[in-house]
A and B are shown apart, each in its own frame.
Chain A
Amino acid sequence: MTTTAPRGTGAVAPGPGNGMAAPRRATIAARTLRTDRWWLQPLVTAVALLLFVVYATFRAFQDAHYFAEPYISPFYSPCLTTACEGDTFPELFTGPTWISPALYILVFPLGIRLTCYYYRKAYYRSFWLSPPACAVAEPHRRYTGETRLPLVGQNIHRYALYAALVINVVLFYDAVLAFRDETGAWGHMGLGTLVLLVNATLLALYSLSCHSCRHIVGGRINSFSRHPLRYRAWTQVSRLNARHMQFAWASLFSVAFADFYVLLLATDTISDLRFF
């Protein structure tokens, strides 16, 4: 039997759309014939992301133990309300006391992570199983991807990037303030200073290595030779972009660790290791 697909349509007769073989495909009942541990990577990703979400949610709503002079947790920075502990940022308004200051700003880092091209891959595979791994059938009957609401909203990623870049600047500002001691005098550095500095750096590298950043600095140009500075910027961001996944995980870990370190200091569980 050597019939061919109808020309011009780009399609053969539709299948059931549930991952099972469509008419005229090879009849193979197994969902996948892969023999490796294809389930391990999505499982590890799901567990790691879930752990972070649970911890970050608890800390964001806790509304306590986020400041230990001179350090402020990155989950609460910039702290914008008059109810904030510490004085790391101008207090811009008085919000309801039952709303944690973290909730006003966490939408921005959450926005860039949710719409990030790397995290999309991670959570589409791990949580939505679409697909769970390459050449492993997904369980869904229909699939429309990012063609309609709400997932077409992923295209706002560049605006999430702009907001994240502002937050990055604030976190560097926090790290600079951490060179003060408890009395506000400059010339201090503790382990907390290093933790905030490394965290701010990793978060900035994550933002700068983003695919939208790569597009904005030069990717949208077709004639690089006419824009040498933007070509140079695009080249540098492309180098970072190759490590975007590593920066995504490293910065996710570092932001949780920085918060946890401040929590330990604020609850007097440990004392800060002072370098000078």
Chain B
Amino acid sequence: MTYDAEFRVWRGDAAGGDLQTFTVPVNEGEVVLDVIHRLQATQAGDLAVRWNCKAGKCGSCSAEVNGRPRLMCMTRMSTFGEAETVTVTPLRTFPVIRDLVTDVSYNYDKAAQIPAFTPRPRDPDGSHRMQQVDVERSQEFRKCIECWLCQDTCHVIRDHEENKRSFAGPRFLIRLAELDMHPLDVADRRDAAQQEFGLGFCNITKCCSEVCPEGIHLTDNGIIPLKERVADRRYDPLTWLGSRIGRRPRS
């Protein structure tokens, strides 16, 4: 079953651009990325679009489809009515390079600033030992494909460009949480999370969790536990006192 869909695609670059309308054939079972590729092949040969795996695992084809941050390869056309206009725009939070391609280097800059994994000394036999149960929490965050949809939807930087200097974004807050929860890691990242990476900017509105294509519970399992750990350290006088007199070890 084939039908003609109306697509509005943002075209332009940092100097300016607009939404352009196209009519593109759609086949049964296709996703938005298939239609964008057909558009590129038949009507707009110079349309810039970033993509790679077409399987929701590389995180390359992030865009906003009808205003919602999505992976184009994981957005089925069957979720839209045949008469519905589908609007595809680049990620709003990042500088546009051209058409649907944005400059996401903000994220790589932030990634480089995260203090690296700092393991404790090895056991006498030269190995590192830990139980599966100890790393299960961290493993959820390892599913991240770095599609930057959470960064794109987070209003802290989406609506306030000036916060990019002091806020790392949800993807890197869960990276901090992952490392802080790691049973072998000995670095204390709680002060850095609050002061350097802007944990306090997060107001728990959970949009990052809503858009995550991997279904990671960024807020409930990463950011809120990290906020609680920071509260232990900075805002809870009893916990602070307990750690001072040796009654409350870190782990």
Interface residues of A (CB under 8 A from B): 1-5, 7-19, 21-28, 32-36, 117, 120-121, 124-125, 130-131, 134-138, 140, 142-148, 151-152, 155-158, 211-212, 214-215, 219-226, 231, 241-242
Contacts and interface: CB of A to CB of B under 8 A. Distances in A.
Nearest to B109: A10
Interface stretch (B36-44, B52-60, B200-208): B200-208
B231 A25 contact: no
B3 to A, nearest CB: 19
A1 B153 CA distance: 25
Contact of B134 (A27, A158, A223): A223
Contacts of B185: 222
B163 interface: yes
A152 B105 CA distance: 30
For the complex, would chain B's binding face be called helix, strand, loop or mixed by DSSP majority?
A: mixed
B161 A131 contact: no
Given A28-B89, A222-B134, A215 B225 contact: yes
Interface residues of B, number: 78
Contacts of A32: 67
A12 B106 contact: yes
Interface of B: 10, 12-19, 64, 66-69, 84, 87, 89-90, 92-98, 102-103, 105-106, 109-110, 113, 130-131, 133-134, 153, 155-156, 158-165, 168, 180-183, 185, 198, 200-207, 210-211, 220, 224-225, 227-232, 234-236, 250-251
B210 A134 contact: yes
Contacts of A16: 161
A144 B201 CA distance: 6
A211 B15 CA distance: 46
